Amino acid sequence: MDKHKKVTMQEIADRVGVSKYAVSKALSGKSGISAATREKIFEVASQLGYLEQKLGKRTQLIKQLNEEQSRLVGILIPNIRSQNRESGYWGRILDGVFKGLENSGVASVLITDDVPDNFHKVMRPEGLLGIIGIGLIQSAMLVELRNIGVPFVLIDHEDDLVSSDSIFMNNYDIVRKQVMYLIGKGHTNIQFVGDWRFARSFSDRWSGFKSALQEHEIPYEPDRDLLSIQPTLAISNLELIARRFKQLKEGSLPTAFVCANDKIASLCLNAMNELGIRVPHHTSIIGFDNDAEILEQFPELSTVNAEKEVLGIKGVEMLFRRLANIYMPYEKILLQSDLIIRGSIDAPDPASVYKSSN
């Protein structure tokens, strides 16, 4: 595509086969457009470079502003699904972002609402250098940011409709390493616990889990209930955990569980304690995040040391790289992490594996 050629909404409309009005509504996040049509409009707009052309205009605007006025970065962390300053996971990422911006001498503003209309009520987009998004952010907000030409990077999230720079832990490879370790200890009846649809990081962890089992030709029949467990204290979620582990206790208990994160591992451990299932005597368990809050309750939990603060610092570096190279291809950075093996894992002992006769 010729980056100097201006792309219009009419061109997008002609490609998709809809009206210019429909394109305008879709790109502004307004209702009245079907999900399929909206997705097609986003796809074509991205292919033609329409959204990226907004970034070019934005760069020229920033150059015209007084330096003091423009040196402000928005930190977008919607207050949903425990995405807040108090969280042992998200709070540490936020600390890293603050540290990275402070070291760069750039001021910041915290934004906890990802509704486009509300954003415009409280923010002056022209005063923002860019935005660092943390966690789940709705597509409509990302489309709006791209529309008004505000550069952004995403930490622990990526959007199927709006391409952008993003940064994650290397979830796939480290969970493969988890499973390889369990296999090396003699485990062949292993289950994944966590709703892989909850977040992209969960999906990557589940994919890594399945890949390691497949590589070793170990049969795996996914447990539908275990794949529905979310890292929340919702009554329905707690009831599902309690019910499923009671059924497993009365039947054949897997010798090991790989949990999507430490929060889910803690929910499983609480259910096991109530049912008299002892770890690692009857089964082994491993989490993900090395969450200090969870470890206060379960200090023996094996886990993955997710460098949460580093995610935030690297997110800041990524934004500044984008600002300096506005037309550079989007990046996806994966940070490596380490296994932390504690007392929640042991080799399966046929004499101690929990069975209904116990």
Average confidence (pLDDT) per 10 residues, the chain, 358 residues: 66 87 74 77 76 56 47 89 82 94 91 86 83 92 88 94 93 98 97 94 97 96 96 90 93 94 96 95 96 94 95 96 89 96 92 50
d(CA 30, CA 124): 20
Q: 19 and 92: one domain?
A: no
Q: Which domain holds residue 102?
A: 69-163+311-336
For residues 203 and 101, membership in a common domain is answered with no
> What is the pLDDT, as a whole number, of residue 348?
92
Q: Is residue 295 part of a domain?
A: yes
Question: Is there a contact between 48 and 15 (Cβ–Cβ < 8 Å)?
Answer: yes
Residue 259: strand, helix, or coil: strand
- At 333, list the tokens: 């950075």
CATH value at residue 6: 1.10.260.40
Query: Does one domain contain both 24 and 133?
Result: no
Q: Which token pair is 286?
A: 């491993």
Instruction: Provide the pLDDT for residue 34.
Output: 81
Q: How many domains does the chain have?
A: 3
In a domain? residue 204: yes
193 and 284 within one domain: yes
Query: Could you tell me if 43 and 122 lie in one domain?
Result: no
Asked if residue 76 is part of any domain, the answer here is yes
| 187 and 148 within one domain | no
Residue 57 lies in a domain: no
Give me the sheet containing 256-259, strands edge to edge: 190-193, 256-259, 284-286
| Composition of the chain by helix, strand, coil, percent to 5 | 45, 15, 40
Tokens standing for residue 253: 């208990």
Domain match, 219 and 280 both: yes
- Count, residues in the chain: 358
199 and 290: one domain?
yes
Q: Is the peptide bond before 222 cis (omega within 30 degrees of 0)?
A: no
Model pLDDT, residue 99 = 95
* CATH number of the domain that residue 186 is part of: 3.40.50.2300
Cα angle 51-332-163, degrees, rounded to a multiple of 5: 20
pLDDT at 21: 81
- pLDDT computed for residue 61 by the predictor: 47
Is residue 232 domain-shared with residue 317, that is, in the same domain? no
Indicate if 130 and 153 belong to the same structural domain. Answer: yes
Whether 56 maps to a domain, the answer reads: no
Strand ranges in 43-129 using DSSP code E only, listed in sequence order: 72-76, 107-111
Alpha-helical runs (H) found in 304-350? 308-324
Alpha carbon distance 254, 247 (integer Å): 12
Burial of 182 (0-12, 13-18, 19+ CB in 10 A): buried
Residue 254 domain-assigned? yes
Per DSSP, 137 falls in state: -
Please check whether residues 280 and 328 belong to one and the same domain: no
- CB count within 10 Å of CB 113 equals 17
Residue 345: inside a domain = no
Residues 178 and 296 in one domain: yes
Q: Residue 62 falls within a domain, yes or no?
A: no
For residue 133, the model assigns a pLDDT of 96
